[in-house]
Structure 1
């Protein structure tokens, strides 16, 4: 694949692909800096976009930034380049999450095949069909997570029931917690915006319908609020839930899990699956341990995804690239 010149327009296009990544409540907690001289990106956490009550340790912030990093790697591969990535290069600057030096690609890689999915992947909070995912697709999803050093498990049987029960409990906890409801109110946009469309958060048209029946663990972004005219629908009774787990539970593991998460989401999109998140129980320490794979009981669940066949998701807004990218002429 021929390498495209890394002019400022191309750099902006690469970052536009990166920031199509999902993040908790669509807070978009990232910033990029690009140095022309060294052809190096910095990925930095935007600490003004934390979610203090639901994500006090910054785990979800790291997951979102890592998903943006994976998208950057995919976009570079599509442009004929490779990413020489170093995580946490400066112990004295924990907001500097990664350095990505752009280097020539020896040969086209598998990441480039994921590029078309970046613009197609949107979280779907709609009902999915009661339809089985083929074995070969499940195997491919496990393998793509493994490429990032992360374990992927499909929850089945008693494990699925335990995950569903923990998620139901987490939804109730969220509803009763005034501080978490405050987080939700800050990052959701019921009723739309007056005068302009917000560039972050979750707009009302992405809430999806209220659950009338079923057991799909879909977060209700309305929280305690009533949204006039919002429809109700029956969701699937046996949802397909996948859990991404790491052996340890610190920032490097969160970065690995976030990259695996986005890689799984992109491959699932290419395979015709719709996707959403079911991370409510992960956000409560006393429920999170119940999500672990029951046979070994080891590892730390970082992400729970809901997969299935159903309507595509609704695009959510993104901040302009000019707000999240700085370009300089030096290293």
Structure 2
């Protein structure tokens, strides 16, 4: 059954939900355009919010936009609209990443709508997790969530986790020796000064979490060598539980699917009582990225490393105003 186009207030509410998605350095590299005539929403890349040094191929940009796209689908389903999604609909316009038709009515009780309560509860947590084991049933549910988006989620064993940690340490050392990458990261991160409160993008210092006494968890220290007033140190979990999200091929459409799967996994994990954080540090270096995967798994290309566990939720990070990211035509 079709329905009249949405009004401006309803569209803005959908975008407010969509924009809670995670993105590299919280750069929020997305724009949305609502087409009144067709009743559809376009998801576009905002190249002014790209991160060219760390993400020269715009892979992470596509992941972030894919996560926002998934939130949009969830918000639409919650509002009783069936999100009919087409990825990369115009080969002549590579920055038009997806178009979502919203003219059909649907039941708000479908498998997307049930994830809606987690959209505002999901925040990246860079705080210590406990060493409590995650039940197999929950891990299986997260694997199934990824498969629903055509992507694989692989939970490595303890030896592989340590290998990934070694690659992350390698990436941290490489970045510290690259002034252009250090400068780029600094531009997107806070200092703890008063202007942190006015940020609408990037990662403020209050979201860094404590500094690790012994670096045992895959949590990026965005402070680098900067001293952040009032920041504590803490002991993190000694046996981190991570999951590798990956695809069989490595093209823009795969990145968009992986971004949607990533957000579906994060929302499901939130509903299951887990807290999460993301790291792409080792994936930002081509010579390290290939080594992150398990060659015996079905994952040929790792798109994200997800840290899972039990612990304190992270704080909400700033978001660009809807008026900055939405056009209605």
| Mapping 1:94-133, distance limit 5 Å | 94-107=94-107, 108-133=109-134
Match of 2:91 in 1: 91
- What is the rounded CA distance, in whole Å, between the counterparts of 1:56 and 1:153 in structure 2? 26
Match of 2:146 in 1: 145
- What is the rounded CA distance, in whole Å, between the counterparts of 1:9 and 1:214 in structure 2? 46
Q: Do the aligned partners of residues 250 and 195 (structure 1) sit closer, same or farther apart at CA in structure 2, a change above 3 Å counting?
A: closer
Deviations 1:26-77 (A, max 9, x none): 1000000001121011111001111111000000000000000000000001
Match of 1:286 in 2: 287
- What is the rounded CA distance, in whole Å, between the counterparts of 1:248 and 1:143 in structure 2? 19
CA contact (8 A) 1:184 1:223 kept: no
Does the residue aligned with 1:303 lie in a helix, a strand or coil?
A: strand
> How many angstroms does 1:4 deviate by?
9.8
- What is the rounded CA distance, in whole Å, between the counterparts of 1:169 and 1:294 in structure 2? 20
- What is the rounded CA distance, in whole Å, between the counterparts of 1:286 and 1:184 in structure 2? 20
- What is the rounded CA distance, in whole Å, between the counterparts of 1:14 and 1:298 in structure 2? 33
Match of 1:39 in 2: 39
- Greater shift in the superposed pair: 261-270 or 177-186: 177-186
CA contact (8 A) 1:34 1:327 kept: yes
Runs of 4+ in 1 over 3 A off after TM superposition: 105-108, 192-196
CA RMSD of aligned residues (A): 1.7
Match of 1:267 in 2: 268
Match of 1:57 in 2: 57
Match of 1:175 in 2: 176
CA contact (8 A) 1:289 1:300 kept: yes
- Greater shift in the superposed pair: 221-230 or 187-196: 187-196
> How many angstroms does 1:157 deviate by?
2.6
| Mapping 1:1-331, distance limit 5 Å | 6-107=6-107, 108-194=109-195, 197-296=198-297, 299-328=300-329
Q: TM-score, normalised by structure 1?
A: 0.95
> How many angstroms does 1:106 deviate by?
4.6
- What is the rounded CA distance, in whole Å, between the counterparts of 1:21 and 1:257 in structure 2? 13
Q: TM-score, normalised by structure 2?
A: 0.96
Does the residue aligned with 2:112 lie in a helix, a strand or coil?
A: helix
CA contact (8 A) 1:4 1:80 kept: no
Deviations 1:202-252 (A, max 9, x none): 001001000002510100001232223211000011101000010001101
Does the residue aligned with 2:127 lie in a helix, a strand or coil?
A: coil
> How many angstroms does 1:196 deviate by?
5.7
Q: Do the aligned partners of residues 70 and 235 (structure 1) sit closer, same or farther apart at CA in structure 2, a change above 3 Å counting?
A: same
> How many aligned positions are there?
327
Q: Do the aligned partners of residues 130 and 117 (structure 1) sit closer, same or farther apart at CA in structure 2, a change above 3 Å counting?
A: same
- What is the rounded CA distance, in whole Å, between the counterparts of 1:170 and 1:53 in structure 2? 14
